[in-house]
Structure 1
Amino acid sequence: MRPAELKVELPEIPRKRYFAIGEVSELCDVKPHVLRYWEQEFPQLKPVKRRGNRRYYQQDDVLMVRRIRSLLYEQGFTIGGARLRLKEGQASAAASLRPLTAPAAANSVVDAGERSAAPRRNSEIKSLRADLESLLKLLPER
């Protein structure tokens, strides 16, 4: 069976705060025992545990399960490869935010050489803003 044949249309995620493991299992087309195994293998997947060690997944957890499912079942990654791909994704997201978190004092002194870089910096900021706005459109409204 080829990865394209495994592609399944998953149901829309309801607008709820918490989901039980059975609900996540249905929403992501993955058995509950597989979800519990993935919790051990992927540090990004950490559902809240409450009374009696019951797991409660949030929206972000459900999206992460779908991402893991896609990497493993549709794209053909191994667990180790999927773990690395998720780690790379987090590292690249953190790297793209670094210029925005630079100390203000470092930006306060502008010499003639830096003035020519200002238009480039403005275009980078516009590009980042456009990327963030497109990501916001993907998130469910609250």
Structure 2
Amino acid sequence: MDSPLPSIPAKRYFTIGEVGELCGVKPHVLRYWEQEFTQLRPVKRRGNRRYYQHHEVLMIRRIRDLLYDQGFTISGARNRLQELVHGDRSLNRGLNEPSGLDGESTALNEHAGEFSVFALADVDFSSDNSHDTSLQKELVAIRALLTI
């Protein structure tokens, strides 16, 4: 869309109104997406109030990007998210392979559990599938080096 989304504050939980403002989506759309995307499961507390966590805000931004900016249908966006999650799982499995570089494999293995599809949410992997895995591995390696 036209204007960039605001940065996500360092909070543990966000109300549906806050998430709507952070993601540029109205609350009724968020409630609908909860029905369509099983990955969205906000905590419900007293009075059935929804509280979203940081990773869910990132997921909503990714869904919004797929639907509004990339033109996916709900079904197509659901499938694309599942592809990204499956790719992320196989990427984490690939981190256990020896690398040949001193210490790199160990550092990656130590941090493998910290990576998820949401850490790569702002990267567009839609252009060429043959480069997805190598690009994802490179990004994970860079991130691991930055967090050491």
Same fold, TM exceeding 0.5? yes
Between the two proteins, the alignment pairs up a number of residues equal to 116
With 92-101 and 22-31 compared, the bigger mean Cα shift is at 92-101
1:42 maps onto 2:20 in alignment: no
Q: Which has the higher contact order (CA 8 A, sep 6+)?
A: 1
TM-score, normalised relative to structure 2: 0.68
2:50 partner SS: strand
Residues in 2 aligned to 1:92 and 1:28: alpha-carbon distance in whole angstroms: 25
Q: What does residue 83 of structure 1 align with?
A: 78
Partner of 2:140: 132
Q: Give 5+ residue unaligned stretches, structure 2.
A: 109-133
Residue aligned with 2:12, SS: coil
Q: 1:122 matched to which residue of 2?
A: 100
1:49-60 alignment, distance < 5 Å:
49-60=44-55
Tell me whether 1:68 sits opposite 2:68 in the alignment.
Answer: no
Equivalent in the alignment of 2:130: none
Q: Which runs of 5+ in 1 are unaligned?
A: 1-5, 103-117, 138-142
Give the C-alpha shift of residue 101 in structure 1: 5.6
Deviation at 1:134, TM superposition (A): 4.1
Of 25, 30, 34, the match for 2:25: 30
Work out which of the two has the higher radius of gyration on C-alpha atoms and give 1 or 2: 1
Partner of 1:105: none
SS of residue in 2 equivalent to 1:56: strand
Give the letter for the 2:100 counterpart. N
